[in-house]
Structure 1
Amino acid sequence: MNWMALVLVGVIAFAVSGPVGMLGRRGGNGWQWVSAVVAVGGGLCGLVGAFAVLLGSLSESLSFPAAAPAMTLDLRVGPLSAFFLIPIFAIGALSSIYGLGYWRQSRHPRTGRKLRFWYGLLIAGMAMLTLCENSIDFLVAWEMMALSTFFLIIIEDQKLAARQAAWVYLVATHLGTLLLVALFAILRVITGSFLFHPLPPGQVGMGLQTTIFLLATAGFGLKAGIVPLHFWLPEAHANAPSHVSATLSGVTLKMGIFGMLRVLTLLSARPPAWGFFLLTLGVVSAFMGVLWAIGQHDVKKMLAYHSVENIGIILMGLGLALLGEAEHQPIWIVLGMAGCLLHVWNHGLFKSLLFLSAGSVIHCTGTRDIDRLGGLAKSMKITAALFMLGSLAICGLPPLNGFISELFIYLGLFHTIARLPILSLAAAVLAMVGALAAACFTKAYGVAFLGTARNNVRRAHESGPTLWIPMCVLAAACVLIGVAPSLVLAPLMHATAAWSGQTLPALGSLVPFRTLSMLGVGLIAATGVGFLVQRYALRQARTGATWACGYIAPSKRMQYTASSLAQMLLTALGPLLHQRRREPRISGVLVGPSHFHTVVSDPVLKDAVEPIWRRLRSMLARGQGFQKGSIQNYIFYMLLILLALLAFTLPLAMLWKLLF
């Protein structure tokens, strides 16, 4: 059977689901359901095709010739691209179902149809991106994905925050595109073709290959959200609709990782410096991402910073695999790349679950502010349970999927200690990141779901089935991979071998999968027994008012907030954070109302990007005098720019010939 055709059916179905969703009346929901059915059907077709290619370690190609060679559409699906197609189709389909209740057309008559149109194009663009074997096609799919994301972020364009987040994203993504254009231009000059041909070994200098590697790291790193290129990410994910945020975080960021992996397969050299560089970037991204997350009050912004953290963990696995290639250590390659790839899946699952759970809370309470929530576990039992499960998974705790992929990276780092002892620091930082993530989600879950309800959540109720059914599917996948990790053994080995291109030791001989499964089942059984004993066997505790330190009339405002619960950590880590404190000045006998507020802002955005933008805007404002409205002046400007470009490019071309 032609599995490529089935994958393309999925791509086309998502592309068609957008225009289908624009049909019908502005206030009707009928065509929204038709659009979701088309998307889910396409997702299932794409999943079947991708799984067949991945499990069979197949490779299928398809080419559509055109009059101009640069316009030929060259597609190929192999184990690596199929590995990334699976979360695209799965999360795309589940989020389409979620949108039926979260962004109902009858409640959003102005934006509902636009959202479905751009969402379908986003999924189709990402899927096409993984299939492209031609740099021109790749850039077209990349721009399709980038522009769709922009219009999804700015979907609520009446909100200033959404407009600002979307424009910052647009600038960042096109800066990354410029770097990718330069990268593919260099590859075109070297290979003489727009096709993705591997560089001939020994014929391309190390300096030029390092330039390609750095361009790929920067260009794709802007999309992935690597520190310090993450500055667009928190606001963009916070202001998009929640099911869009789930897709952006769970899938779209991984297109940056896919691009890096794809370019690395083209390069003939993989020196150890590249591995150390990516490993260092991963350590910094993971550590700083979780630090910034701890100080957030906005639940979606907190989850966005945790995406930065998990992209860092993925990079650590990739850096370890590159070091294994350079040092001829196949065990490092297997454990590093398996951890990298499995964390791509795992992060897509538990982060999508967390964003959808947060969306359920926002849908019922109308706020993203953690400090305004409380007591939701009583009225939103399903959402509370699923958010807790996602929190445990993202913290890397057994028996859930996050533990398995991080375990691979831990084991790989432990294998390097005899040869590279300094990498033990990376393992220590990874452990610290897990501990800080546990502290962060203890804060988020405790403040939002436990305690006493605040005013705005007293009438909160559980969301409808279209919201919690996709969440339950994601939660089941998190548990399944955690309890039965051997199920992903074959897909991981096939994708890892496709990236490495060499014979590698079996992952099953390096990781005790059977022991992990037994421990996972035992933990779940022990938890279930403990719950039943506590619920039915033990004497029921008497219910009474919480001790309030002697206060006669305690208020719900006396509960812990996100700031107070994280105060100790924020104070200890203050030098690493961009924290602003607004403290009341209390003096005199009679004191009026006062407030204490802390904000942890992004130092890259506040201290680097915004000052550069202000200076650039000031410089551009000075040039407004040249805009006189005269055609003759504009033609003269064009002539000057043409001469300047010639004066710049001719010496550059001569230098290129001398060097290469």
Structure 2
Amino acid sequence: MTFSGEPATSLGLLLLAVCCQAASGLPLLLSRGSSLAQRAGVALMVTASVAGCAGALGAVFFPVTGTWLLPAGLPFGGLEMGVDALSALFLLPIFIVTGCCAVYGAGYWPVARHPEHGGKLAFFLGLLSAALTVVLVARSTMLFLMGWEVMALAAYFALTTEDEKHEVREAGVLYLITAHLGALALFATFSLLNAATGAYLFPAPGSLSAAGPMATAIFLTALFGFGMKAGVMPLHIWLPSAHANAPSHVSAILSGVVLKTGIYGMMRVFCAFADPPLWWGALVLVLGCISAVLGVAYAIGQHDLKRLLAYHSIENIGIILMGIGMALIGANQGWEALVALGVAGALLHVVNHALFKALLFLSAGSVIHATGTREIDLLGGVARRLPRTALFFLVGAVAICGLPPLNGFVSELMIYLGAFNSIEAAVGLGPSLPALAAPVLALVGGLAVACFVKVYGVVFLGAPRAAEHEAGHEAGAGMLVPMGVLAACCALIGLAPGGLVPVLNGALRGYGATPELQQGIASLVPFGWISIIGAGLILLLALLWVFFARGATRLPVPVAPTWGCGYLRPTPRMQYTASSFGAILVGWFALLLRPERHREEVRGLFPGRASHESHLPETVLEKGYLPFLEYLFEKAQPVRRLQHGKLNIYIFYTFVTLVLLLAITSGQ
């Protein structure tokens, strides 16, 4: 290994973290079924998180330009690694979330109860965490692709832990297909970057011109390849089933940090262009608006708790893309404030979403662990048995809805401010597009509140709807402590967002913003007022709670049956269900969502059983991709005759292809 520039201590800590992450699954592989081995693996993951957070913060506060070069003896050169403030901002949530999920997993998925799956899950979870870190520290595009492919395969095996279930296998196959399609697009992206720069390295910010077909091809292939991983609609088809069928702490990592590697890749490639055309930003902004609105609309119609959370990931990826689109439009128009607000808002939402979405998935996992189901309509009254889980889920719900005083409010406010800034400065239709973000964010926020009122009310309040799924006991400390850490991070960022100004300024520097903007983000966002308003809101809520609690102690507490609305024998089935609560909102988007309803009507003087069921299909996959693929399958019948299953024939095909390629290249 050789050094280019000053070797960074922070990079050394990050490489130590990679080694600990990759080794964390080995104890259980060597000693199957051992609880002690599982605890040793958790200790390695926690060590990696501590070392990784220290290395990431070191890269922010003590930046260096040094890189490490590992000679590989390959045609595309050595494998170069480095870390800057932009990488560091993405690394922080990776280490926080993976460390919390490792601790949580020991209680949620104890190897003593799952000896057949424990070793596999621990090994691939550690390998996934290590690959995520490698992707973020890679400076050569080939090392990035190596880490990217290891990440895809490790995520597949972690996702398909319960591979004896048919729906899990289907989700895994769909994920693997889309992961490789995205990777093929990235091969094209990096080949084009090599043609433009002459090196297999990420270009420096602002070093390339966006003029010409080469730049357009780089932009489109990067948007497709990274958008597939990020779950941008309509490239999101793998995401709902994968998040729903994975173990809950794996779902937290998939949603919290794996999706963000797609965002990181987009930002790393897009910032290399000094003069992006207006349509680049407009396309990204529109895709963000579509993902945000339809993501939350699909979420409202879901009956599966984890699938609902998965669609909210699409919604929040849309919010992040809106910030990136605003920044690209700002770069085209020369509006430095819009660039700063768009980039900083998107980056802060990357961190915020990782925290509150991981918290929500872990809380949902606690509910599933206690009740044995993730079907919303079979739950109810869970808060009585799981009060701490209910509190943590409520914290995550308030954060994801973008409400003060939690962290989601801060990043969405920054994107709002960017939209309002563009309204003042824009002249013409194209430059006015960032103003579209304001009403879209307002719509998405309102729908998100409605969705989580539904979820919290149906799952945690009311009475249990099915005796076999009545909530059991509260989760143990090993599961509650990680949820508490994530909830505390959400509250800390919401109450003291000014503490992240150095991190955001450093990330703006890594993105290529001007020195003035790197020091000016605090002047564009009222961080002080956010802290004051948040603290005041908490104080007000505390005073109201004390007031009503004292008043309640002086009132008589009569005991009476719940009013049954005129029915003599009310049952839990008379409560709101997930379908009935969201029926009106789903109806608003029925043209796009295409809900399916199945009814048995009441008929005759002495009617029999009547029922009503509703189902929201994955419209893009079931109504779009699958019919198109079936059409291609039928039309490709003549081509499939070339598949003889004979090795000598395939060698001949390869020989003919090589001869043709040599003939083409020698003629140039």
Per the normalisation by structure 2, the TM-score is 0.94
Equivalent residue in structure 2 for 1:9, among 16, 29, 47:
16
State the alpha-carbon separation in 1 of the partners of residues 647 and 181 from structure 2: 30
State the alpha-carbon separation in 2 of the partners of residues 630 and 68 from structure 1: 32
- Sequence identity percentage: 44
Contact map agreement 1:213 1:264 (CA 8 A) in 2: yes
Equivalent residue in structure 1 for 2:100, among 77, 94, 101:
94
* Counterpart for residue 556 of structure 1: 572
State the alpha-carbon separation in 1 of the partners of residues 602 and 661 from structure 2: 63
Cα gap change, 1:594 to 1:493, in 2 (>3 Å) = same
**Deviation at 1:595?**
2.1
**Deviation at 1:18?**
1.8
* Counterpart for residue 596 of structure 1: 612
**Deviation at 1:70?**
2.7
Confirm or deny that 1:526 pairs with 2:540: yes
Note the 1:174-323 alignment, pairs <5 A: 174-198=180-204, 205-323=211-329
Cα gap change, 1:377 to 1:208, in 2 (>3 Å) = same
* Counterpart for residue 657 of structure 1: none
State the alpha-carbon separation in 1 of the partners of residues 625 and 312 from structure 2: 21
Confirm or deny that 1:609 pairs with 2:603: no
Cα gap change, 1:58 to 1:501, in 2 (>3 Å) = farther
Equivalent residue in structure 1 for 2:585, among 562, 565, 569:
569
Contact map agreement 1:206 1:269 (CA 8 A) in 2: no
**Deviation at 1:497?**
2.1
Confirm or deny that 1:486 pairs with 2:493: no
Equivalent residue in structure 2 for 1:432, among 443, 457, 470:
443
State the alpha-carbon separation in 2 of the partners of residues 428 and 101 from structure 1: 43
State the alpha-carbon separation in 2 of the partners of residues 151 and 380 from structure 1: 31
Amino acid at match of 1:519: I
Cα gap change, 1:590 to 1:256, in 2 (>3 Å) = same
Secondary structure of the corresponding residue to residue 588 of structure 1: coil
State the alpha-carbon separation in 2 of the partners of residues 262 and 200 from structure 1: 11
Confirm or deny that 1:22 pairs with 2:22: no
* Counterpart for residue 514 of structure 2: 502
Secondary structure of the corresponding residue to residue 374 of structure 1: coil
**Deviation at 1:446?**
0.3
Secondary structure of the corresponding residue to residue 615 of structure 1: helix
Amino acid at match of 1:425: L
Confirm or deny that 1:537 pairs with 2:551: yes
State the alpha-carbon separation in 2 of the partners of residues 405 and 366 from structure 1: 35
State the alpha-carbon separation in 1 of the partners of residues 549 and 70 from structure 2: 63
* Counterpart for residue 452 of structure 1: 463
State the alpha-carbon separation in 1 of the partners of residues 330 and 484 from structure 2: 38
Confirm or deny that 1:173 pairs with 2:187: no
Contact map agreement 1:334 1:504 (CA 8 A) in 2: no
Cα gap change, 1:543 to 1:250, in 2 (>3 Å) = farther
Confirm or deny that 1:400 pairs with 2:406: yes
**Deviation at 1:385?**
0.7
Amino acid at match of 2:581: L
Contact map agreement 1:331 1:504 (CA 8 A) in 2: no
Amino acid at match of 1:431: A
Runs of 4+ in structure 1 off by over 6 angstroms are none
* Counterpart for residue 133 of structure 1: 139
**Deviation at 1:203?**
6.8
* Counterpart for residue 3 of structure 2: none
Deviation per CA, 1:204-238: give whole Å up to 9, x if none: 74321111011110000000000110011000010
Amino acid at match of 1:440: C
Secondary structure of the corresponding residue to residue 355 of structure 1: helix
Cα gap change, 1:313 to 1:204, in 2 (>3 Å) = closer
State the alpha-carbon separation in 1 of the partners of residues 539 and 625 from structure 2: 51
Amino acid at match of 1:295: G
Equivalent residue in structure 2 for 1:365, among 371, 383, 386:
371
State the alpha-carbon separation in 1 of the partners of residues 642 and 521 from structure 2: 64
Deviation per CA, 1:29-84: give whole Å up to 9, x if none: 11000000011011101101111111334444111223335352210011011111
Amino acid at match of 2:619: P
Equivalent residue in structure 2 for 1:441, among 443, 447, 452:
452
Contact map agreement 2:208 2:272 (CA 8 A) in 1: no
Cα gap change, 1:442 to 1:37, in 2 (>3 Å) = same
Contact map agreement 1:332 1:412 (CA 8 A) in 2: yes
* Counterpart for residue 5 of structure 2: none
Q: Which deviates the most, 529-538 or 158-167? A: 529-538
Contact map agreement 1:447 1:560 (CA 8 A) in 2: yes
Deviation per CA, 1:369-416: give whole Å up to 9, x if none: 000000011110000011111101000000000000000000010000
State the alpha-carbon separation in 1 of the partners of residues 91 and 583 from structure 2: 42
Note the 1:616-635 alignment, pairs <5 A: 616-618=632-634, 626-628=642-644, 633-635=649-651
* Counterpart for residue 354 of structure 2: 348
Secondary structure of the corresponding residue to residue 583 of structure 1: strand
Equivalent residue in structure 2 for 1:412, among 402, 410, 418:
418
State the alpha-carbon separation in 1 of the partners of residues 73 and 642 from structure 2: 42
State the alpha-carbon separation in 2 of the partners of residues 310 and 25 from structure 1: 39
State the alpha-carbon separation in 1 of the partners of residues 165 and 661 from structure 2: 41
Deviation per CA, 1:179-208: give whole Å up to 9, x if none: 100111111122222122349967774321
Secondary structure of the corresponding residue to residue 236 of structure 1: helix
**Deviation at 1:266?**
2.5
State the alpha-carbon separation in 1 of the partners of residues 374 and 208 from structure 2: 55
Confirm or deny that 1:378 pairs with 2:384: yes
Contact map agreement 2:210 2:275 (CA 8 A) in 1: no
Consecutive unaligned residues of structure 1, counting only runs of 5 or more, are 655-660
**Deviation at 1:607?**
1.3
Amino acid at match of 1:125: A
* Counterpart for residue 526 of structure 2: 512
Cα gap change, 1:627 to 1:557, in 2 (>3 Å) = same
Amino acid at match of 1:510: L
Contact map agreement 2:386 2:471 (CA 8 A) in 1: no
Amino acid at match of 1:437: A
State the alpha-carbon separation in 2 of the partners of residues 67 and 578 from structure 1: 54
Cα gap change, 1:567 to 1:176, in 2 (>3 Å) = same
State the alpha-carbon separation in 2 of the partners of residues 265 and 160 from structure 1: 42
Secondary structure of the corresponding residue to residue 593 of structure 1: coil
Amino acid at match of 2:547: V
**Deviation at 1:609?**
1.8
Cα gap change, 1:441 to 1:32, in 2 (>3 Å) = same
State the alpha-carbon separation in 2 of the partners of residues 264 and 9 from structure 1: 30
Contact map agreement 2:20 2:44 (CA 8 A) in 1: yes
* Counterpart for residue 658 of structure 1: none
Secondary structure of the corresponding residue to residue 82 of structure 2: strand
Confirm or deny that 1:116 pairs with 2:127: no
CA RMSD of the aligned region, Å?
A: 2.0
State the alpha-carbon separation in 2 of the partners of residues 559 and 204 from structure 1: 57
Equivalent residue in structure 1 for 2:154, among 144, 148, 159:
148
Contact map agreement 1:209 1:269 (CA 8 A) in 2: no
